[in-house]
A and B are shown apart, each in its own frame.
Chain A
């Protein structure tokens, strides 16, 4: 009887024995993911190598433990079919029987060759889709408004007041900080220039016109779009994810009435006030900087401000505030309601909402500039 153990193939995972000219591989140890760990690829490669010898006898009865990963490792080494000579325990047998009739994984969806064109086309339709969506939502809100005029006891006052607080009162500190700093920077840059021409007092005109008419409203609108717009979208989005929107629907409470309308009205009221606040603080910062930089007396500056800036500019600024505020809320709600119930869509929707509302704010500003080009500007010749 010939019995030899080739020592060069010793390994904790298998033993090769040659007995009466029959070579046999005996798998040993635990074929589990935890036990194989980093050895997995190496053991797999070895087994694949042995599986190429068609006359090899496989003995799997000495395996201590085998989990699915171990079974698949061996199965793949065998190239998905059993070797001719196999010794196996019944419980493992079941596992391999399972693998034998395993179904193939469904193929991932392949990209069309025309995908650049398709993507472009889809983008185009998506744009119109969003535009009509926003207009539809606006129409719905207007209908809700009509309904509320007839049923004044159903006006969602609590929600409106909550929105007023969140988007208005809580935004005061950040808008004040940014406004103040911008006022200082603006004043610092232009007062030096004006000083060199001896036109010191015109700093009041420059500060007053630019801040009251343009910078104040724009700063406030962009800050609010980032701050409140994103939170509105995220709120509605999470309500979609957690099926709260559906719960509201089945209770017969329309989203547009209870969720969208209070946000639009709330921000429509809060925004002009925030604009007023931001402009005032920015002016304060500007005058302070001018006082320090070129010694312009602040009392003089304040008393001359009404002459330099016609009051119409203030109304235009606040008008922008109302329109921008409502637009931001409308866009935020539109994107919020279209979020699909998964986290990725939530993130994407919030980003889109903020980007769109900032773009919309700048567009609105341009439209105001065109419409009111003859109002509030004193052009001295």
Chain B
């Protein structure tokens, strides 16, 4: 089922805000079925890169191709069908503040116009169950939720249409360790069932080590390394050394990769 054409292709990407250069010559291909983790220090432009893949932001130079089509001259029908098949978890949740939890998750389903209200109800409750939000919170407004609950409801909304392409911006930030672990389990089960491609920004080494098939490291405005985790940690770069092989990183990786 997995073919070798990249789903998303970034070529020679430059980004700057005013005179502040964020990315210099970024080249990255994302293939079907993989989980690509994007790491980098805070403010290195991970969220910006994700926004460019979603064509919410336009790079100063370079191209973003989705399924082989450039997003600028891509026909709208294709872009729409692609957006229907992708789910996005924003860093701050981006829940609709005027809708309650239930309606937030039901909104993308209602937009499809092919599901009945009963099916939507079952689906919403199933999604809430998956992200371990109790049914009693379904009628709450986003302003009445805790930070971690906002994250989980936003994740449920991102998963609402069982997307094939998932963009997750720090999915486990603000979750306690057991919840992070059940997030990992959830993604693993989903992947068993569906061909899921995930692009994930994360600072959480446990999640990264457990889920990612490839890792891309953003530092000094460039992608300094892209590859599988065991190869990445062998690269001699100050950020990689600090991020993966610091005290904390070693502890995590020791369990996963049998590191000395």
Contact = CB atoms under 8 A, between A and B. Distances in A.
A129 B252 CA distance: 57
Contact of B97 (A76, A108, A343): A343
Interface stretch (B26-34, B56-64, B137-145, B172-180): B137-145
A136 to B, nearest CB: 24
Contact of A98 (B98, B118, B129, B195): B129
A305 interface: no
B124 interface: yes
B161 interface: yes
Contacts of A241: 97
B3 interface: no
Interface stretch (B108-116, B202-210, B225-233): B108-116
Contacts of B139: 106, 108-109
A68 B123 contact: yes
A66 interface: yes
Contact of A91 (B102, B122, B126, B192): B192
A201 interface: no
Secondary structure class of chain A's binding surface, majority of residues: helix
Interface string A82-102: 000000000100110011001
Contacts of B124: 105
B125 A343 contact: no
Given A32-B162, A33-B112, A343-B97, A72 B126 contact: yes
Secondary structure class of chain B's binding surface, majority of residues: helix
B1 to A, nearest CB: 9
A171 to B, nearest CB: 31
A105 B115 contact: no
Contacts of B164: 34
Contacts of B122: 72, 75-76, 99, 102
B194 to A, nearest CB: 6
Contacts of A103: 125, 129, 135
A375 B119 CA distance: 73
B136 A69 contact: no
A98 B114 contact: no
A8 interface: no
Contact of A342 (B116, B126, B143, B189): B143
Nearest to B84: A34
A297 interface: no
A144 B139 CA distance: 40
A103 B132 CA distance: 12
Interface string A43-80: 00000000000000000000001111100110110000
Contact of A106 (B97, B129, B136): B136
B138 A69 contact: no
A66 B190 CA distance: 10
A109 B102 CA distance: 13
Instruction: Tell me which of B96, B126, B136, B141 has the highest count of chain A C-beta atoms within 10 A of its own C-beta.
Output: B126
27 contacts: A32-B162, A33-B162, A36-B114, A40-B115, A65-B194, A65-B195, A66-B193, A67-B194, A69-B115, A69-B123, A72-B122, A72-B123, A72-B126, A73-B119, A75-B122, A91-B189, A91-B192, A98-B126, A98-B129, A102-B122, A104-B135, A106-B136, A341-B143, A342-B141, A342-B142, A343-B97, A344-B98
Interface of B: 84-85, 96-98, 102, 112, 114-116, 118-119, 121-127, 129, 135-136, 138-139, 141-143, 161-162, 164, 189, 192-195
| 10 residue pairs, one from A and one from B, having the closest CB atoms | A67-B162, A342-B97, A344-B98, A341-B143, A72-B122, A103-B135, A40-B114, A343-B98, A105-B121, A343-B97
